[in-house]
Amino acid sequence: MDPREFWGKSSKFWLCLILLFAVLLGFYSNVFSLISTWQREESQSQDTHSVVLQRMQPEKKESSERDCHLDTCRIPEVPRLVYPKAQLLKPTRVDVLVMTPWFAPIIWDGTFDSAILDAQFRNITVGLTVFAIKKYVVFLKLFLETAEKHFMVGHKVNYYVFTDQPANVPQIPLQEGRQVVVLEVRNYKRWQDISMHRMEMISNFSQQRFLREVHYLVCLDVDMKFSDHVGVEILAPLFGTLHPGFYRGDRQSFTYERRPLSQAYIPRDEGDFYYAGGFFGGSVPEVYRLTMACHQVMMADQANGIEAVWHDESHLNRYLLYHKPSKVLSPEYLWDEHMLQRPPLLRKLRYVAVPKNHAEIRNR
């Protein structure tokens, strides 16, 4: 073979081999580069995710503490109990509505088991707010005496008595774990102003002390008495009570504020129920939001020279229309035997009006 032919073929072979080696070297170099890049990106992603989680966790905890005050949103463990089994195909009440369209239970006799509920709520403290201003202080003794017999029996209770006459608050024997807390406040010339300023006072004291002292607030009228069991079945993040004068009516009959100029205005084609201003409540944060909001819109109305037709009750109804309560109490929890005939569907009357001369009481 001619040496030139040999070296010519040999050089082509080695050149192809070198070019192939270079291609493979470049390919693997790119692969290793990509792997390194992926590792850095994954590491950065994990670091970023860790930072995001660290930032989110305190916010979540803060939100939880704000919205689930003192563990009111936790599902409690219930001890062993013996009780009748609920019959799925045999409802205990078929004569009344027991659930709202937004899945809030309506509380009637026969719809709950007190033993189970007492076990669920065994470690809570309930605050009861009541206003005994001017001549309304005369109702306080009967109110407290009947509360000790029927209200949250077996549970811790703080009776928060708002009054302009601390010396006239009666001394009532109390069960263990219950106390009367007297909160001195000013009075107002008109009973309407006293009624409307309740929202301001409850919101102020909720922020100042109730948030630290109780789990739930129940806000009641003082010119009433307890006549049967009122227990933890009423407790929920936010609850309202059906007004005894309107529980049968349609929304056209409700005495909502109908003037568009008022912050309490509700159009005639809106409305779920008509709620009573004398019995509402919920967790302390929710009651604070409700009372603060109602106070603010009442001040806005006042600045515009308008007063809602039923004062704080009108604003309460507006608030509960757009902030649906998580539980609704039936008229068992607020009734007037002297003005209304008791229907058969009311198996119990739990909280009833005391006979009085409204004009004499309100105008003195």
The tokens describing 217, both together, are 């607030």
CA distance 85 to 76: 20
Contacts of 332 (CB under 8 A, 6+ apart): 107, 108, 109, 228, 346, 347, 348, 349, 350
Cα–Cα distance measured from residue 251 to residue 270, given in angstroms and rounded to the nearest whole number? 7
Does residue 107 have a known ligand-binding role? Answer: no
307 is an annotated ligand-binding site residue: no
Does 284 count as an annotated binding residue?
no
Catalytic residue selected from 257, 313, 337, 360: 313
The answer to whether the annotation marks 111 as part of a ligand binding site is no
133 assigned ligand-binding residue: yes
Comparing C-alpha atoms, which of 266, 244, 281, 252 is closest to residue 321? 266
Residue 51: DSSP 8-state = H
Residue 159 annotated as part of some ligand binding site:
no
On the CB side of 13, CA atoms within 13 Å amount to: 6
- 131: annotated binding-site residue? yes
Query: Could you give the CA distance from residue 6 to residue 242 in angstroms, rounded to a whole number?
Result: 109
How far, in Å, CA of 178 to CA of 172, rounded? Answer: 11
Q: What's the rounded Cα separation, in Å, for the pair 153 and 149?
A: 7
223 is in an annotated binding site: yes
Active site residue 286: no
- Residue 136 in marked binding region: yes
User: What are the structure tokens assigned to 259, written together?
Assistant: 């003037």
Annotated binding site for Mn(2+): 221, 223
Active-site annotation, residues: 313
Annotated binding site: 131-133, 136, 221-223, 243, 255, 313, 336
Annotated binding site for UDP-N-acetyl-alpha-D-galactosamine: 131-133, 136, 221-223
